[in-house]
């Protein structure tokens, strides 16, 4: 291993708030970059000495983990590290970009002129979603609770930035939309925040929930959901990684836009692996703007 990309799911799993519960002894982490030391029988895509990245083709708490100096990983969870990126950048690239691409492009078909709301937008996934929306000509509305991040989000390419929580997001977003509606809401918060987005959705719009930053229950009024044909969809990156056809389309999209400069990994802070506790505390502070990376 050369570097580890930290994700909010790491903190959630470690603290017992993830989709699955820790069952010690178990490892932590699902993303990183490194160099192949050896390959098993039947593996032909990767060679010894090749630079690679690890994708979450496995669950948190499985026998595989990336917070390590060396690890064993399934070939299905590996992808080539782009030559244009160093090890730290490579560890910050794939999970954020493929997570955003899978929902916005592969599943929702976001395109020119479509409105997309991206909540908790200063995360690495949120920033990737902003760049992807801009790359396909969509109109992004980024939300944050922190006023100090507003200028940064606009500089990152967001079409609009709304400082809000669940109590005032509906009105502020509808002021931007006018008579239009959101084709997509890309939300890792859930709870009452997701509920407040329903009045903002377009006909047959999709609300993707890909996290649970809120501990509140998520309850929807079925009437607008039915009358407007709104879809509520749970989403995780394995829905892309587990499908070779989707993964290849996502890989092509990311590499094409990486080469043109319309996509780029955003690294906020770098910690040595020995300071992993401090790195988790920093992520819990919500101060980051982009990816936190551990170096080996």
Q: What's the pLDDT score for residue 62?
A: 85
User: Does residue 244 lie within any of the structural domains?
Assistant: no
Domain extent at residue 157: 110-236
49: burial class by Cβ within 10 Å (0-12, 13-18, 19+)? Answer: exposed
| 206 beta partners | 184, 231
User: Does residue 63 lie within any of the structural domains?
Assistant: yes
pLDDT tens, the chain, 296 aa long: 999 999 999 999 999 888 888 888 889 999 999 999 999 999 999 999 999 999 988 888 888 999 999 999 999 899 999 999 999 999 999 999 999 999 999 999 999 999 999 999 999 999 999 999 999 999 999 999 999 999 999 999 999 999 999 999 999 999 999 999 999 999 999 999 999 999 999 999 999 999 988 888 888 888 989 999 999 999 999 999 999 999 999 999 999 999 999 999 999 999 999 999 999 999 999 999 999 999 99
Alpha helices for 143-286 (secondary structure H)? 150-155, 169-177, 191-197, 222-227, 238-241, 244-260, 276-284
Tell me, what DSSP letter sits at residue 117?
E
Q: In what order do the strands lie in the sheet with 182-187?
A: 160-163, 139-144, 115-118, 182-187, 201-209, 231-234
Backbone angles phi, psi at 16, to 5 degrees: 85, 20
Based on the fold, state whether residues 123 and 202 are members of the same structural domain: yes
Against a cut of 0.75, is the pTM above it?
yes
Q: Which CATH number belongs to the domain containing residue 172 in this structure?
A: 3.40.50.720
Q: Give the DSSP letter string of 264-284.
A: ---EEEEEEGGGHHHHHHHHH
Backbone angles phi, psi at 272, to 5 degrees: -70, 155
Based on the fold, state whether residues 51 and 160 are members of the same structural domain: no
Q: How many domains does one find in the chain?
A: 2
- Confirm if 33 and 2 have CB atoms less than 8 A apart: yes
Tokens of 100: 């955003």
Q: Give the DSSP letter string of 119-149.
A: SSTTSHHHHHHHHHHHHTT-EEEEEES-GGG
Q: Which CATH number belongs to the domain containing residue 61 in this structure?
A: 3.90.180.10
Q: What's the pLDDT score for residue 75?
A: 93
Give the chain's largest Cα–Cα span. 58
Instruction: Check the CA dihedral 98-104-109-114 and report its sign.
Output: negative
CB atoms within 10 A of CB 67: 19
Q: What's the pLDDT score for residue 107?
A: 98
User: Does residue 251 lie within any of the structural domains?
Assistant: no
DSSP-derived 3-state class of residue 275: helix
Based on the fold, state whether residues 186 and 82 are members of the same structural domain: no
């Amino acid at each position: 291993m050369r570097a580890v990309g930290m994700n909010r799911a790491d903190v959630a799993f470690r603290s017992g708030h993830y989709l699955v519960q820790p069952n010690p002894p178990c490892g932590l982490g699902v993303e990183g970059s490194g160099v192949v030391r050896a390959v098993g029988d039947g593996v032909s895509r990767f060679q010894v000495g090749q630079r690679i990245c690890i994708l979450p083709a496995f669950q948190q708490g499985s026998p595989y983990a990336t917070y390590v100096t060396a690890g064993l990983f399934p070939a299905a969870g590996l992808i080539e590290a782009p030559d244009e990126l160093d090890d730290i950048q490579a560890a910050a690239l794939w999970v954020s970009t493929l997570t955003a691409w899978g929902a916005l492009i592969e599943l929702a078909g976001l395109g020119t002129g479509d409105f997309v709301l991206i909540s908790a937008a200063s995360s690495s996934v949120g920033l990737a979603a902003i760049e992807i929306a801009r790359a396909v000509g969509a109109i992004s509305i980024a939300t944050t609770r922190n006023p100090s991040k507003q200028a940064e989000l606009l500089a990152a390419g967001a079409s609009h930035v709304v400082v809000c929580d669940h109590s005032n997001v509906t009105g502020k977003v509808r002021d931007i939309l006018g008579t239009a509606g959101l084709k997509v809401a890309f939300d890792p918060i859930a709870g009452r925040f997701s509920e407040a987005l329903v009045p903002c959705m377009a006909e047959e719009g999709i609300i993707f929930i890909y996290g649970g930053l809120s501990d509140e229950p998520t309850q929807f009024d079925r009437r607008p959901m039915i009358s407007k044909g709104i879809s509520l969809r749970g989403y995780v990156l394995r829905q892309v990684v587990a499908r070779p056809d989707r993964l290849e389309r996502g890989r092509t999209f990311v590499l094409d836009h990486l080469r043109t400069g319309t996509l780029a990994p955003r690294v906020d802070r770098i910690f040595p692996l020995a300071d992993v506790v401090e790195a988790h505390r920093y992520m819990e502070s919500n101060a980051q703007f982009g990816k936190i990376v551990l170096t080996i």
